[in-house]
């Protein structure tokens, strides 16, 4: 019996120490978790301040790309050097591909949805140029050019749709 009371005495001394230890553990666990979250937030905030100018520059470059790929501007900028439709079609498509490849690295700074829309605008423009070349196969390069200009004056171009999305996405950054 004496041993039992001695054990209960030890337990009476140990129990408050165990309770204090458990409380201290949870307190320090919560504290270190909060500190880790705060550090992560500060690092992310600092990174955001460094990345934001690069993201804005990427959006500027993609905007310029969409402006340059806009068929109305592309057809005025890239004039046919011969009357052969195939050569003019190739010239336009090569110009589009070259512009796109020059800006392909910008995709790491924009959302996947934005980049997919830019890529779709490029592909849609190429598709329309190929369709126009097939439609005007009996005419010359100037006729194809006029046909494309007439078509795109009446409707919104794929580049303009992509530009509207880009502007919306940039406005969400602020």
Pick from 32-41, 82-91, 111-120, 136-145 the range whose average pLDDT is largest.
111-120
Cβ atoms of residues 91 and 145 within 8 Å: no
Please say if the pLDDT value at position 48 is more than 80. Answer: no
* Cα separation, 154 vs 32, whole angstroms: 62
Q: How confident is the model at residue 150 (pLDDT cuts 50, 70, 90)?
A: confident
Angle at which helix 112-135 crosses helix 2-69, to 10 degrees, equals: 30
pTM for this predicted structure: 0.72
Please say if the pLDDT value at position 88 is more than 90. Answer: yes
Which backbone phi and psi does 156 adopt, to 5 degrees?
A: -80, 130
């Amino acid at each position: 019996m004496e041993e039992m009371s001695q054990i209960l005495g030890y337990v009476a001394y140990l129990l408050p120490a165990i309770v204090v230890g458990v409380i201290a553990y949870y307190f320090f666990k919560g504290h270190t978790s909060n500190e880790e979250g705060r550090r992560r937030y500060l690092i992310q905030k600092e990174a955001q301040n460094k990345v934001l100018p690069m993201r804005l520059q990427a959006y500027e470059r993609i905007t310029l790309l969409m402006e340059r790929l806009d068929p109305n501007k592309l057809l005025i900028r890239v004039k046919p050097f011969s009357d052969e439709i195939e050569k003019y079609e190739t010239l336009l498509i090569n110009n589009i591909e070259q512009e796109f490849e020059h800006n392909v690295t910008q995709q790491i700074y924009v959302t996947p949805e934005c980049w997919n829309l830019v890529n779709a605008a490029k592909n849609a423009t190429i598709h329309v140029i190929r369709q126009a070349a097939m439609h005007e196969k009996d005419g010359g390069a100037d006729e194809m050019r006029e046909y494309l200009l007439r078509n795109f004056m009446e409707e919104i171009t794929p580049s303009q749709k992509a530009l509207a999305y880009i502007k919306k996405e940039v406005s969400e950054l602020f």
